[in-house]
Amino acid sequence: MEVSVILPTYNERGNIVPLIEAIQQHLGEAGISHEVIVVDDNSPDGTAQAVRERFGGDERVRLFVRTKERGLASAIAYGIRQARGDAVAVMDTDFNHDPALLPQMVKFLEYYDIIIGSRFTMGGGMEERWRYLASFFFNFFIRVVLRTQVQDNLCGFFSMRREKLLSLDLERIFQGYGEYFMHLLFLAWKKNYTMLEIPAFYRARTYGESKSRFFHMLYHYTLTALKVRLGIR
């Protein structure tokens, strides 16, 4: 199975090169064929240029720079459409998501449709305690609303067979910021896709600033959870 690892980026110059190197190392050591797809929203800090300078001759690294569109969810959808692999893996580019988990997340696709890197299964967690607690309680709210029994509905760290992903309504799913993951899991659950959550420990970013804004996200994610449950687009 070949996996396409999709990295949506904006102002991640300090993280992108070591992250790609780590992805290639872990997947290479596991003997997993792979490509890395970087979808950059024309970052002013030179993220795309850093990728060109380091991986310009590497056919396993494909860079796409978007100048007209912006947004995390739409960047992921763009990467999915460009992917060539049998499987797709999506992760953040700030080392929040551990690339060492990728081989496990790919191999488990032999038995499940979706693999989720979860903060809320035994062994998972977050380095930033207050964010962990806020995410834990909000995910409890989402589970009550959506009734899917998924522990981590907002992580955005997952792998999935590409054909299974393309069978879903991508236009409906990939909107906004991280709320796309609620849409994805809910629609997959309705189609009886099998899901496995594996423990993931999220570390604080070491470079750059987070794009997340807590109260903005709280409002939009709450609204999204209710809309998803009621079937409102």
Whether the predicted pLDDT of 149 surpasses 70: yes
Whether the predicted pLDDT of 64 surpasses 60: yes
The mean pLDDT value for 136-142 works out to 85
Residue with the bigger pLDDT between 111 and 230: it is 111
pLDDT (0 to 100) of residue 195? 96
Share of the chain above pLDDT 70, in %: 92
CATH 3.40.50.2300 for domain 3-230, yes or no, is no
| Averaged confidence pLDDT in the chain | 90
Cβ contacts of residue 195 below 8 Å, gap of 6+?
112, 113, 114, 115, 116, 150, 185, 188, 189
pTM for the structure as a whole = 0.89
pLDDT (0 to 100) of residue 117? 96
The mean pLDDT value for 88-106 works out to 96
Does residue 72 contact residue 178 with C-beta atoms inside 8 Å?
Answer: yes
d(CA 6, CA 76): 7
